[in-house]
Amino acid sequence: MLIDLHTHTKPKSDDSFLSPSELIVQAKKAGLDGICLTEHDWFWSPEDLKNLSKAFNYLIIPGVEINTDDGHFIVFGIDAYEFGMHRTAFLRDVVDAGGGFMIFAHPYRRNFSVDDDIDEAVERCCRKSVLQYVDTIEILNGQGKEKQNEFSKRLAYRLGWKGVGGSDAHELKDIPSYATRFERRIGNREELIRELKAGRYRAVTVKGKD
pLDDT by residue (tens digit) across 7-59? 999 999 999 999 999 999 999 999 999 999 999 999 999 999 999 999 999 99
Check pLDDT > 50 for residue 210: no
Whole-number pLDDT of residue 208? 55
At 167, is the secondary structure helix, strand, or coil? coil
Helix, strand, coil distribution of the chain in percent, nearest 5:
35, 25, 40
What would the pLDDT profile of 92-117 be if each residue is shown by its tens digit?
999 999 999 999 999 999 999 989 99
pTM: 0.96
What would the pLDDT profile of 166-198 be if each residue is shown by its tens digit?
999 999 999 999 999 999 999 999 999 999 999
Please give the average per-residue pLDDT across 61-80, as a whole number: 98
Stated length of the chain: 210
Domains, the chain: 2-205 (3.20.20.140)
Q: How far apart, in Å, are the Cα atoms of 157 and each of 51, 95, 146, 165, 179?
A: 40, 24, 16, 14, 18
| Cis check: omega of the bond before 176, within 30 degrees of 0 | yes
